[in-house]
Amino acid sequence: MKTCLLASCILILAAAAASIADEPTAAQAGEPLKVVLTFDDGSKEHATLAAPLLAEYGYQATFNIITDRIGMSTNSLTWGQVRELAKAGHEIASHTCTHRNLNTLIAEGKSDDARHEILDSVAAIESNTQIRVTHICLPFNAWTPDVDKLVKGLGFDIQEFRRPNIGGDDEMKRSAREQARAAVKKALDDKRVRLALMFHGIDKIGWRPFPNGAADLRSIFEELRELERSGVIKVVPYAEAYP
């Protein structure tokens, strides 16, 4: 796991260097930074803890689900919960079938497996929700030119992979709210026009859950709401920030 994460960090850096020119940075004066909320890996707590808070704040998020895990354990979302999220206006995106690193699969000569990870997960989401899937969230954010070619060749877009993770075990020991504030500040300093925040575990389930569970997620939403009130940011659905 550690190796995977390290490898993905390296990939992220390489990818950032490769595609930085694609990033629109010419923010019009006074236009707020568009902030997108993404929840990865399909933890049950995304439905039980995150969704009620999103409803309270009126935010629409993107849920990146690993389709083979849906309904397979008490920690996972069920398809019923996925449908509820979709009905509430949230986006459901493919995070592949099994969360394998697509670049590793391609490098090992298993491009067919990589193709199946994409197509089968999309088919599962579409048949279970009747919603059209338009983009793929890459496991480990492992973007490479080969992965790019494969996904786009199948007719899908790749979700923003330069997403700061907000969660527990922060390397700089910051609170959840401080992490969110810092991510927004960095995006503004970099003159970016959009920022996708990434969340995993909320309370007990998933990668790096918050030390104070849903209360930490609420503190992030409070921070975002405050920044919205001062006109610095606007929390928007993914498609509005990445049309």
| Chain contacts with Zn ion (rule: CB under 5 A) | 40-41
Minimum CB separation of residue 225 from Zn ion in Å reads: 27
**Residue number with CB closer to Zn ion (40 or 91):** 40
**Residue number with CB closer to Zn ion (40 or 160):** 40
Minimum CB separation of residue 4 from Zn ion in Å reads: 10
> How far, in Å, CA of 44 to CA of 75, rounded?
5
Q: Is the dihedral of CA 145, 150, 156, 161 positive or negative?
A: negative
Residue 85 burial (C-beta neighbours within 10 Å; 0-12, 13-18, 19+): buried
Minimum CB separation of residue 121 from Zn ion in Å reads: 12
User: 158 pairs with which residues across the strands?
Assistant: 136
Look at residues 44, 45, 98, 52 and name the one whose alpha carbon lies nearest to residue 73.
Answer: 44
Give, to the nearest 10 degrees, the angle between helix 176-189 and helix 214-229: 40
Minimum CB separation of residue 175 from Zn ion in Å reads: 23
Angle 123-127-132 (CA atoms, 0-180°, nearest 5)?
A: 70
- Joined together, the tokens standing for residue 19 give 């595609």
Output the residue with the shortest Cβ distance to Zn ion.
40
**Residue number with CB closer to Zn ion (41 or 160):** 41
**Residue number with CB closer to Zn ion (33 or 217):** 217
Minimum CB separation of residue 40 from Zn ion in Å reads: 4
